[in-house]
Amino acid sequence: MKQSLIIALDFPDLIQTERFLSQFPSEKLAVKVGMELFYQNGPAIISYVKEQGHDVFLDLKLHDIPNTVKMAMTGLATLGADMVNVHAAGGQKMMEAAMEGLDKGTSAGKKRPLCIGVTQLTSTSQEQMNVEQNIAGSLEDSVLHYAKLTQQAGLDGVVCSTHEVKNIHERIGLEFLTVTPGIRSAGGQTHDQKRIATPEQARDFGADAIVVGRAITGAKDPLKAYLDMKAAWEGISC
């Protein structure tokens, strides 16, 4: 899913998901299925989206003891998602167990889903990290620490804000994926996100993929909003 604009399908049910995707008859999309949609509809939602020809990032942010995460990933590997994730705060052993589970659950001849680690949520501010999480130092240092831990565990990349991408690529390598939420058009509403950027800024910082939600799903014309965002992300003048 590298170089993708990933649409966050933040809907509660299949009906709204079908209605939204029907507006993209000629587009092969990359979409994110998160907790809201997956927990209320189950694995069938992954099957449905894949049947429509789209790539799926299953965003469940697993965070538990290593064996539990391993067994959960063994099951998730069978669903057909192209990318999954865990919380890097779960530690290196947990992330290594996640990879073991994915390898175990991936059928022979099939491609293992990409697995990325969530560093610091883009809704987290510097003050929240220092005070509520009781983590000293800067957000950038915390994100880089988690990114290094993720890379050591054998994962494919991380979820981070665009502002940490350059540092991660310089310190870890360009092949290490950086998936960046919190993407808005210039002047767009920030909602509950703190560390945000435009598609152009994400591209300039070197992000490998961007995640866009309400700026597309809540638009009056979602297809136009998607195409505009995609053009900005790809550096195409409209």
pLDDT digits (tens, 9 = 90+) for 88-135: 999 999 999 999 999 999 998 899 999 999 999 988 999 999 999 999
Q: What is the pLDDT of residue 157?
A: 99
Range of the domain at 39: 4-234
Q: What is the pLDDT of residue 75?
A: 98
Q: Is the pLDDT of residue 185 over 90?
A: no
216 is in an annotated binding site: no
φ, ψ of residue 50 to 5 degrees: the values are -65, -35
180 is in an annotated binding site: no
Q: Is the pLDDT of residue 15 over 60?
A: yes
> Average model confidence (pLDDT) for the chain?
94
55 is catalytic: no
Count the neighbouring beta carbons within 10 Å of the beta carbon of residue 218: 12
Q: Which of 12-21, 109-118, 185-194 is least confident?
A: 185-194
Domain count, the chain: 1
60 is in an annotated binding site: yes
Rounded Cα–Cα distance for residues 155 and 86 (Å): 10
Q: What is the pLDDT of residue 159?
A: 98
66 is in an annotated binding site: yes
6 is in an annotated binding site: no
Q: What is the pLDDT of residues 195-217, one digit of tens each?
A: 779 999 999 999 999 999 999 99
The percentage of the chain sitting over the pLDDT mark of 90, rounded to a whole number, equals 89
61 is catalytic: yes
214 is in an annotated binding site: yes
Rounded Cα–Cα distance for residues 102 and 99 (Å): 5
Cα 189–chain centre separation: 20
Q: Which of 2, 50, 55, 59 is catalytic?
A: 59
19 is in an annotated binding site: no
Higher pLDDT: 191 or 30? It is 30
Rounded Cα–Cα distance for residues 176 and 173 (Å): 6
Q: Which of 55, 64, 103, 228 is catalytic?
A: 64
Q: What is the pLDDT of residue 238?
A: 47
pTM of the model: 0.94
13 is catalytic: no
The percentage of the chain sitting over the pLDDT mark of 70, rounded to a whole number, equals 95
Q: How confident is residue 192, by pLDDT bands cut at 50, 70 and 90?
A: low
Instruction: State which amino acid sits at residue 76.
Output: L
Q: Which of 50, 55, 61, 194 is catalytic?
A: 61
Q: What is the pLDDT of residue 194?
A: 63
CATH number at residue 20: 3.20.20.70
Average pLDDT over residues 67-80: 98
174 is in an annotated binding site: no
